[in-house]
Structure 1
Amino acid sequence: MKKSLLAQSVALACLAAAAGGAHAVSFTQNDVTVDINGTVNGFYVNRDAKLTNKTTGTSNTTNNSELTNGLLPGWINFVVTTKAGDQDIKAHFSFAPGINNNSTVVGLPIGNNANGAGVTNPYSQIDTRNVYFQFGNNDWGTLKFGRDIGLFGQNIILSDMTLIGVGGTSNAGIPYNTTFGMIGHGYMYTGFQAQITYTTPNFNGLQASAGIFQPSKFAGDETKTPGFQAKVDYDWKGGVPGKVWGGLVTQSTSCSTTTCANKDFTATGYEVGAKAGFGNFEAVAYGFAGKGLGMSTVGAQFFQGGNAAGEKTDSKGYFLQGTYKFNKTKVGVNWGRNRDEKGGTLDTTGNGLGAVNSQTNTAYTVGVYHSLNKFVTLVGEFNNEKVTNSLSEAKNNTISAGAILFF
Structure 2
Amino acid sequence: MLGALGMAASAQAVDFKAGEWSVSLGGIVNAYYTQVSCSGDAVGGLALGGKAVGCGGQDNRTTIGNGLLPNGLVTSASSHQGDFDVKALIGIYNATATDSAISANSGVDVRQAYFTFGNADMGTIKIGRDNGIFGATPIFADMTLIGAGAPVQATQRGRVTLGHIGAGYSYVGYYGQIAWSAPKTASGIGFDAALVSPVSDTPVVAAPLYSTRTSPQVQAQLSYAANGFKGWLGGKTQKFEATAPGVRDFTMSGVEVGASYTQGAFGVLANFQGGKGLGILSDADQGDTKSKAWFAQATYKPADKVKLGLSYGISRNDDNITGTGGLKSNANLTLGLYYQMTSAITLVGEVGQTRSKGFAGGEGKMNGASLGGIIFF
TM-score w.r.t. the length of structure 2 is 0.88
SS in 2 for 1:172: helix
Partner of 2:352: 383
TM-superposed deviation, 1:254:
3.5
Partner of 2:205: none
- Residues 216 and 302 in structure 1, CA contact (< 8 A), matched pair in contact too: no
* Structure 1 position 266 matched with structure 2 position 268: no
TM-superposed deviation, 1:346:
4.9
> Separation in 1 of the partners of 2:8 and 2:347?
25
* Structure 1 position 283 matched with structure 2 position 268: yes
Q: 1:173 to 1:221 in 2, by over 3 A?
A: closer
> Separation in 2 of the partners of 1:67 and 1:12?
31
Partner of 1:398: 368
Q: 1:289 to 1:27 in 2, by over 3 A?
A: same
- Residues 287 and 323 in structure 2, CA contact (< 8 A), matched pair in contact too: no
SS in 1 for 2:34: strand
Equivalences for 1:6-405 in 2 at 5 Å? 14-16=4-6, 21-53=10-42, 62-103=59-100, 106=101, 108-110=102-104, 124-170=106-152, 172-204=154-186, 205-218=188-201, 220-237=210-227, 241-254=228-241, 259-262=245-248, 264-294=249-279, 296=280, 299-306=281-288, 313-326=289-302, 327-342=304-319, 345-346=322-323, 355-356=325-326, 358-391=327-360, 392-405=362-375
- Residues 307 and 337 in structure 2, CA contact (< 8 A), matched pair in contact too: yes
- Residues 305 and 343 in structure 1, CA contact (< 8 A), matched pair in contact too: no
Q: 1:251 to 1:195 in 2, by over 3 A?
A: same
Any unmatched runs of 5+ in structure 2? Answer: 44-49, 52-57, 202-208
- Residues 267 and 305 in structure 1, CA contact (< 8 A), matched pair in contact too: no
TM-superposed deviation, 1:169:
2.6
SS in 2 for 1:130: strand
- Residues 285 and 323 in structure 2, CA contact (< 8 A), matched pair in contact too: no
Structure 2 counterpart of 1:394, one-letter code: G
Any unmatched runs of 5+ in structure 1? Answer: 1-10, 111-122, 307-312, 348-354
Structure 2 counterpart of 1:216, one-letter code: V
TM-superposed deviation, 1:174:
4.2
> Separation in 1 of the partners of 2:141 and 2:189?
18
- Residues 198 and 212 in structure 2, CA contact (< 8 A), matched pair in contact too: no
Q: How many residues are aligned here?
A: 356
Rg: which structure is higher? 1
Structure 2 counterpart of 1:47, one-letter code: V
Structure 1 counterpart of 2:121, one-letter code: D
Q: 1:96 to 1:14 in 2, by over 3 A?
A: farther
Structure 2 counterpart of 1:379, one-letter code: V
> Separation in 2 of the partners of 1:28 and 1:258?
54
Q: 1:214 to 1:171 in 2, by over 3 A?
A: farther
SS in 2 for 1:180: coil
Structure 2 counterpart of 1:385, one-letter code: T
> Separation in 2 of the partners of 1:136 and 1:290?
33
Q: 1:258 to 1:186 in 2, by over 3 A?
A: closer
Q: 1:334 to 1:258 in 2, by over 3 A?
A: closer
Q: 1:253 to 1:390 in 2, by over 3 A?
A: closer
> Separation in 2 of the partners of 1:275 and 1:390?
33
TM-superposed deviation, 1:342:
2.6
- Residues 101 and 124 in structure 1, CA contact (< 8 A), matched pair in contact too: no
Q: 1:15 to 1:208 in 2, by over 3 A?
A: farther
TM-score w.r.t. the length of structure 1 is 0.82
Q: 1:146 to 1:84 in 2, by over 3 A?
A: same
> Separation in 2 of the partners of 1:225 and 1:198?
18
Deviations 1:61-110 (A, max 9, x none): 7111221110001011101101111011100001111212331xx4x224
Partner of 1:113: none
- Residues 172 and 178 in structure 1, CA contact (< 8 A), matched pair in contact too: no
Deviations 1:106-126 (A, max 9, x none): 4x224xxxxxxxxxxxx6521
